[in-house]
Structures are given as C-alpha cells and as structure tokens.
C-alpha cells in the first residue's frame, strides 16, 4: 500500500528542484561604464534592474555590481549622458558599457539633447538630410535595390554613408526627445512632490526607477497616473 505521505514528499521535492533551477539564473552582474568618445570611466551613474526594481550606482571608477536574472534589463542613466538598456544574458557576468553624451557634434555645430526639443531635432534632421542628399531618413526601402527603376547607389549611400548615419541618429534623437517631453509633462518633480512626501535628494532616483513608458502615459488618465505615483512611492519608501 502506498504511503499517503509519498505524494506530498514528491511534490515538495519537485518544488525545491524548481526553485533551485530558477536560482541558477541569478547572477551578480558587474560592469564598467565609460564615455563613448573619451573612454573615461563615469562615476555616480544610476544602474536600475527594471525587472526587480534594484538600484545601484557606479563608483568613482565607473564600476557597478547588481543582482539580476537572465532576461532582466538594466537601465544605465545619468546627467549628461543618453540612457542605455542592457539585456542580461547567461554570459553577462561582466559587461562594458559606453554611453553617448547628450551633446553631439554635427559638422561643427554642438547640439544638446538635454535642451533641444523633439520638433527641433526633426527640423535639424530634415535640413541635414537635404543638405547631404538623404531622402529616406537614412533608412532606404529595399525596393531601391531592384534592377527595374531602382537605385542601388542611393540605397547604399543612405545606408552606409556618414550623412545617412547622422540623419538616422537625429531622427532617433527626435523620437527619444519627443517621448521624454511627453512623459516629463506629466511625470515630473512638481507633480510627484504634490502627491507624495519625497525628499528632494531622492527625486532623481525615484524617477529613474519608476519612469513610465510613453505608451503608459498615453493611455493613463490623471487618476491612473496619480495612483501609479503613490503605489510606486510606497515601494520606493520601503527599500
């Protein structure tokens, strides 16, 4: 006769095996962050595990360590640099990350993405493209490769030339800045301070950890946004 305890023991063993297996994916991810142009380490950047809500900062040598599972996304951000997302893979025990400065050089003109608005970037992209013979925003359609009424020269010029790369970058900056402006118009220091008792020194860390997507901002009513801020602050205040 089968013991009544046997199924329970087997279930417990299976549960332990599942937990042990899942635990094998947990990594202590280390990394070094430097500027893309200077290759110098960047201290005091925020490194957020977007899946787990863990937040650390880089030290004076640009080094950080953070716990993560395979498949998690790390967001690295800080004043003066464009944020970057890094996907954690099984081999991601140490990663090197290079951030681009928010100011970029474009034919002797310095453009600061921290102060330039999305529409301004689009205007710059259009003007720059016209001046450099870029007519498809640096993303030429595959039909240009057709031997019938196509233009392979135009395709490869837009795809591979410096002008094409810079035009694509400007349009990308336009989208990023437009999204940022839309989010910041509703999820900002003034609104947050009105709703929760957060200290000034914690605002940047809070916004980095709970910065919503532009898709969320588009669909949320004011009530939804206020509830999100309050619930997020409760989590933030407990850490």
Same domain, 60 and 29: yes
The pTM of this model reads 0.59
Question: What pLDDT, on a 0 to 100 scale, did the predictor assign at position 163?
Answer: 87
Residue 229 structure tokens:
């801020």
Whether 170 shows a pLDDT value over 80: the answer reads yes
Residues sharing a CB contact under 8 Å with residue 33, sequence separation 6 or more, in sequence order = 41, 42, 45, 47, 58, 62, 64, 76, 97, 98, 99
Same domain, 49 and 95: yes
Residue 54 in contact with residue 66, Cβ under 8 Å?
yes
> pLDDT by residue (tens digit) across 63-84?
999 999 988 999 898 877 888 8
Residues sharing a CB contact under 8 Å with residue 47, sequence separation 6 or more, in sequence order = 31, 33, 55, 56, 57, 58, 64, 66, 74, 75, 76
* CATH number (domain holding residue 64): 2.60.40.10
pLDDT class of 18 with cuts at 50, 70, 90: very low
**Mean pLDDT lowest among 23-27, 58-62, 92-96, 176-180:** 23-27
Question: What pLDDT, on a 0 to 100 scale, did the predictor assign at position 13?
Answer: 45
Average of pLDDT values for 163-185? 86
Same domain, 126 and 87: no
Same domain, 18 and 93: yes
Same domain, 216 and 229: yes
Same domain, 129 and 44: no
Same domain, 107 and 87: no
Quote the CA–CA distance of 34 and 103 in Å, as a whole number.
16
Same domain, 75 and 10: yes
The total of structural domains in the chain comes to: 3
Domain boundary among 82, 99, 116: 99
Query: Mean pLDDT, the chain, as a whole number?
Result: 81
Same domain, 114 and 85: no
Same domain, 143 and 196: no
Domain boundary among 183, 206, 228: 183
Same domain, 79 and 107: no
Question: What pLDDT, on a 0 to 100 scale, did the predictor assign at position 103?
Answer: 63
The three-state secondary structure class of 30 is strand
Average of pLDDT values for 33-58? 86
Domain boundary among 99, 132, 162: 99
Same domain, 61 and 84: yes
Quote the CA–CA distance of 98 and 82 in Å, as a whole number.
10
Structural domain range at position 68: 5-99
Residue 144 structure tokens:
């240009």
Residue 112 in contact with residue 102, Cβ under 8 Å?
yes
> pLDDT by residue (tens digit) across 21-41?
444 557 889 889 988 877 788
């Amino acid at each position: 006769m089968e013991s009544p305890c046997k199924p329970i023991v087997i279930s417990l063993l299976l549960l332990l095996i599942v937990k042990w297996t899942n635990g094998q994916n947990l990594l202590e991810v280390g990394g070094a962050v430097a500027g893309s142009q200077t290759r110098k380490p960047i201290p005091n950047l925020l490194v957020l595990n977007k899946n787990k809500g863990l937040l650390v900062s880089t030290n004076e040598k640009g080094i950080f360590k953070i716990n993560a599972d395979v498949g998690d996304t790390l967001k690295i951000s800080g004043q003066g640099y464009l944020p970057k997302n890094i996907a954690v893979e099984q081999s991601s025990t140490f990663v090197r990350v290079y951030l681009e400065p928010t100011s970029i050089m474009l034919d002797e003109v310095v453009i600061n993405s921290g102060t330039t608005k999305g529409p301004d970037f689009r205007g710059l992209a259009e003007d720059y493209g016209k001046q450099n013979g870029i007519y498809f925003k640096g993303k030429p359609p595959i039909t240009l490769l057709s031997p019938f009424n196509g233009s392979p020269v135009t395709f490869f010029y837009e795809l591979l030339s410096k002008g094409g790369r810079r035009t694509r970058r400007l349009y990308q900056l336009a989208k990023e800045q437009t999204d940022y402006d839309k989010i910041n118009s509703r999820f900002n220091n003034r609104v947050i301070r009105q709703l929760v008792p957060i200290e000034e020194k914690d605002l940047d860390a809070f916004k980095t950890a709970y910065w919503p997507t532009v898709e969320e901002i588009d669909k949320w009513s004011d009530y939804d946004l206020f509830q999100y801020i309050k619930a997020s602050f409760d989590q933030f205040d407990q850490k």
